[in-house]
Structure 1
Amino acid sequence: MSLLAGPAVADVKAGVDAWSGGEYAKAVNEWREPAKKGDPDAQFNLAQAYKLGRGVKQDLKIAEQWYQRAANQGHLQAADSLGHLLHYQGRIKEALPLLQASSARGEPRAQYLLATELFNGVNIQKDWVRAYALMTRASAAGLAPASRNLAEMDKYIPLEQRQKGVALAGEIETATAQKRAAQVTGFPINTKAPVAVAKPIDVPPSKTTKAVEPGFPGTIPALNGKTTQPEPAKTAKKPAAVAGSWRIQLGAFGSEANAKKLWASLQQKVDGLSGTTYSLVPAGNLSRLQAGPFANRSDAEAMFTKVKSAVVGQGCLIIAP
C-alpha cells in the first residue's frame, strides 16, 4: 500500500495544478484513477468537478456518489459539501446529520443552513436560541445572507432569547475552534476561476459548458421558506492582525439607541469597562456593540469574564483581530 500512496498523491497534486490553470479535463483525468483506487482527496476533487460541470458534463448524482465515498473515509470537506448538496436538492432530513456535524466544526454555510432549519422548525425541533447563535456565527464568518437573516430574527425572537443566543454563540466559537484544529485539508481544489497571469497562456477551451455551481454560492434558503441571492464574492484579502485590536462584543441591535443604552448601563456595572472605547459595527441592518481595544486575547478574556460575572445572562463574544 505504501508504494501506491506516493504516486497517487502526486497524481492528485498534478490534477490540482491543472485545474488551477483552467485545464479542467486534464485535471479530471489525473484524479480518476486515484479516486477509483480509494484516494479521498481525488474522490472529493472529482465530485467537485461533476458538481460544477468543469472538465465533465455536470451530474449531481455522480458528484454525490464521489462525495459520499470520500466522506466515508473521513474527508471532512467532502462531508461538508455532501450536506450542502443534499440540502440544495431538498433532501433536508438526509442533510441534517451532515449539517449538524459540519456546524459543530464551525463550517459557516452549514451553520447558516442549520440555523434556518432551527428557526423554521419544520424538519427539526424549533430552537430559536440555538438558531440565533448559529446565525450569529455564520454572520461573523462573513456570510451576507446570515447578517440579513439576523435582522429578520430580531423581529420574531424575544430579546431575552436573543441575548442567550449571543452568549451561546461565544461558547460555540470556542468549541468549534478546537475541532477545526484537527481538520485535515488534503489537496482541495480552488473552485474559483483561475486568476489571469501577466503573460496569458494559450489553453484549449473545454468542450463542456461551464455550469453554475448549485447550492452555495447560488440561491440560498432564507427564513420562512423565502430565498435570497448572496452578494458577489469578495476577493480582497483579509488584513493582517494588528496588535491591540482584540475586542469583545456585547450584543447586536436593530436600533443604535438601544445599543448605546446598554453601553451606558454596562459601564456602571462592569469594573474597568469605562476605560475602553465602544464602537457600533454595522452588519446588515444590525449594529454590533463592541468594546476595546485589548492588547491580547488574555486581556479580552479578562474583561469577558468581568462582564459575565457582573451581569447575569449578558451576551458577550470575544472578537479576534
Structure 2
Amino acid sequence: MTNHRTPRNRAKTAVLADDRGHRQRLVVGTFAALLLALAAVGAMVSQSGAAEPAAEPAAEAPAAASEATGHDLYRRGYYEEAIAEWTTAADENGDAGAAFRLGEEYFDAKVVKRDVPTAVKYLTLGAEGGDDRAQQDLATMYDNGWGVTADVDQAAYWYLEAAKRGSAVAQYNIATMYETGTGVEQDIEKAYMYYLLAVQGGFPHFATTELENVSRTMTAEQIKEATVMARDFVPLDEETDERDS
C-alpha cells in the first residue's frame, strides 16, 4: 500500500522593519490560510487519484486428472500417485491417453503387478477413445492372443484405426495384412501405400524392404496409384480438425 503524506502547514511569519529601525514580528494570517486551503485541495486530489490496490489473483483450480498430470507424477517417481491419477482420468474423465498409460503399465509390470485383463480393459478404453497408441497395442494383443482370444479380424481392425491416425508401426503392420489378405481383403495397392507411409513416418527398417518386395509384384500403374494414395493421405485427427475449422 502506498503511504501518502499530507504536508503539515505552519503559520508563516515575516519579519518587517519599520522606518525607525524597529523590528516587528507579524504573523501573516491571510497567507497562512491560503496555504492551508491549497494543501487540503492537494490532499483531496492526491487521494482521489491514488491507484486502487491491485486485486489478489484468484487461486487457480487444480488441474483435472489427465494423462499429463499423471505423467508429471510418474516422471518424478510418484508411481502409486501416478497410477491413481491415470485411473481417475480414465474412469471419470474419459481420458483415452490415461487409459493407454494404464494398459501399458498393467501389461509391462514396471511399477504395478502384471494384470493382463486390466491391461486389456484399459487398452480397449483408450482404443475406443481414439488413442492410436492404445489401438496399436490392443491390435498386438489380438494378433498374438495375449490376454484375449487371438483374432486376426480384431487385430486388423485396430491396426487400421491406428494407421489412419498416423502410427507408423500400425501402418507397417496393416500393410503386411493387406499384402497377404490376413484379417482384411487382400489389396496390394493399399499394402504399398501403407508400407510407403510407414517409411515416411520413420519406420524404415522393415518397411523399406517390404516396399521393395511388394513393388515387384505390381504394375507401374498400380505403383503410381498407390503413391498418389500415400501422397493424399491425411491422418484421421488432422482431417477431423480441418473439417471442424
Paired residues of 2:65 and 2:89 also in contact (CA < 8 A): no
Matched AA of 2:226: G
Counterpart Cα distance in 2 of 1:74 and 1:154: 32
Count of aligned residue pairs for this structure pair: 176
Task: Tell me, yes or no, if structure 1 residue 130 matches structure 2 residue 186.
Answer: no
Shift of 1:35: 3.5
Paired residues of 1:105 and 1:179 also in contact (CA < 8 A): no
Task: Tell me, yes or no, if structure 1 residue 35 matches structure 2 residue 95.
Answer: no
Counterpart Cα distance in 1 of 2:158 and 2:207: 19
Paired residues of 2:65 and 2:86 also in contact (CA < 8 A): no
SS at match of 2:216: helix
Counterpart Cα distance in 2 of 1:12 and 1:129: 37
Tell me the equivalent position of 1:294: none
Counterpart Cα distance in 1 of 2:74 and 2:172: 29
Paired residues of 2:159 and 2:171 also in contact (CA < 8 A): yes
Tell me the equivalent position of 1:24: 79
Matched AA of 2:206: P
Shift of 1:179: 2.5
Task: Tell me, yes or no, if structure 1 residue 170 matches structure 2 residue 225.
Answer: no
Offset from partner CA, 1:175-221 (integer Å, 9 cap, x none): 65732757xxxxxxxxxxxxxxxxxxxxxxxxxxxxxxxxxxxxxxx
Tell me the equivalent position of 2:158: 98
Shift of 1:130: 1.1
Task: Tell me, yes or no, if structure 1 residue 53 matches structure 2 residue 113.
Answer: no
Select the residue among 208, 217, 240 that pairs with 1:147. Answer: 208
Counterpart Cα distance in 1 of 2:240 and 2:75: 25
Name the structure with the higher helix share.
Answer: 2
Task: Provide the TM-score with structure 1 as the length reference.
Answer: 0.47
Tell me the equivalent position of 1:282: none
Counterpart Cα distance in 1 of 2:98 and 2:237: 27
The structure with the largest alpha-carbon Rg is: 2
Counterpart Cα distance in 2 of 1:146 and 1:75: 23
Shift of 1:168: 1.8
Name the structure with the higher strand share.
Answer: 1
Paired residues of 2:123 and 2:137 also in contact (CA < 8 A): yes
Matched AA of 1:149: E
Tell me the equivalent position of 1:156: 217
Unmatched runs of 5 consecutive residues or more in structure 2? 1-60
Paired residues of 1:136 and 1:150 also in contact (CA < 8 A): yes
Tell me the equivalent position of 1:9: 64
- Residues 1-321 of structure 1: matches in 2 within 5 Å? 9-10=64-65, 12-40=67-95, 41-75=97-131, 77-89=133-145, 90-143=150-203, 144-172=205-233, 174=234, 176=236, 178-179=238-239, 181=241
Paired residues of 1:52 and 1:58 also in contact (CA < 8 A): yes
Shift of 1:17: 1.5
Matched AA of 1:57: K
Paired residues of 1:111 and 1:138 also in contact (CA < 8 A): yes
Matched AA of 1:154: S
SS at match of 1:51: helix
Aligned-pair identity (%):
24
Judging changes above 3 Å, is the alpha-carbon distance between structure 1 residues 10 and 37 closer, same or farther for their aligned structure 2 residues? closer
Shift of 1:39: 3.7
Counterpart Cα distance in 1 of 2:185 and 2:169: 20
Task: Provide the TM-score with structure 2 as the length reference.
Answer: 0.60
Matched AA of 1:20: R
Counterpart Cα distance in 2 of 1:179 and 1:165: 20
RMSD of the alignment, in Å?
2.9
